[in-house]
Amino acid sequence: MTRFYVATFRESIKQANRKRKAEMIYWSLFDPTSWEIGAEFGMPETAIRKNIIDRLKDRKFGKFSKKFKKMSRSERDKYIDKFFYTGNAINNILSTNLNEIGLTTRPQSPTGGFDIRVMKRGSCVGCIGIKRFVSSLNLIDDISGHYEKIFSCDNNAETCKHLVLCFVPLFGTESPKRMHKLLTAYTPFLFNMETKKHDGETKIHFIPVDENGNSVNGDVISETENIIKKFFIALEA
């Protein structure tokens, strides 16, 4: 079922407006597994699931909403477990959007180490890692694991540019700007860790997102686009 629904989801993303896509990114940031290692979501998981379902059923989300409404309850749950909670949804939303701004991208498996590959003339020139952090508990391990995977399974890893985007969902009235300042305090530790692994160009960015899909400088999509464009500027030239 998944392949069919992923294709339709990608079609709908193209039709959805920017605000809806930004909100959808927020609701795709929850990784329930992090609860097992101590993260708190700030709201019940059932509320997160309901919010995703409500948005997918909404007509404004394009033709996928019709297909989604026809699914049984267990099919919807399975879809959310497999597609949203595993990180596939955010990879697809971002990848579709990057294609629209002229970057050729290919979303990978959410756990494959490099979630979006940036392509040029058929070969991979950059890797964008998408990380979702409900809390900072597993931050160091997760980013370290990301690099381990890249360098153990990709022959081109040394020549690629690496960008790791760390998305953080905010709760209630938390401010994206304040959270961004707090999180960037981690950067020196992460920088030390990454330079041990890679001599080439590598960067880590924190992107806090509120419930309306807003980040530090405007909506999360613009924020992400700007970071990516800046980092891959050499590719466009």
Q: Can you read off the two tokens belonging to residue 40?
A: 């708190």
Closest approach of other proteins to the CB of residue 80, in Å: 9
Which residue number, 134 or 228, has a Cβ lying nearer to other proteins? 134
Closest approach of other proteins to the CB of residue 224, in Å: 23
CB contact burial 76-100 (16+ within 10 A = b; e otherwise) = beebbeebbbbbbbbbbbbbbbbee
The site that binds other proteins (CB under 8 A) totals a number of residues, namely 22
Is 78 strand, coil or helix? helix
Binding status of residue 42 toward other proteins by CB under 8 A:
no
Residue type, 5: Y
Binding status of residue 72 toward other proteins by CB under 8 A:
no
Q: Can you read off the two tokens belonging to residue 78?
A: 């399975």
| φ and ψ at residue 165, rounded to 5 degrees | -100, 120
Which residue number, 8 or 104, has a Cβ lying nearer to other proteins? 8
**Other CB atoms within 10 Å distance of the CB of residue 225:** 18
Query: Binding to other proteins (CB under 8 A): which residues in 77-116?
Result: 78, 81-83, 85-86, 109-112
Query: Binding to other proteins (CB under 8 A): which residues in 132-151?
Result: 137-138
- Residues contributing to the site for other proteins (CB under 8 A): 31-33, 35-38, 44-46, 78, 81-83, 85-86, 109-112, 137-138
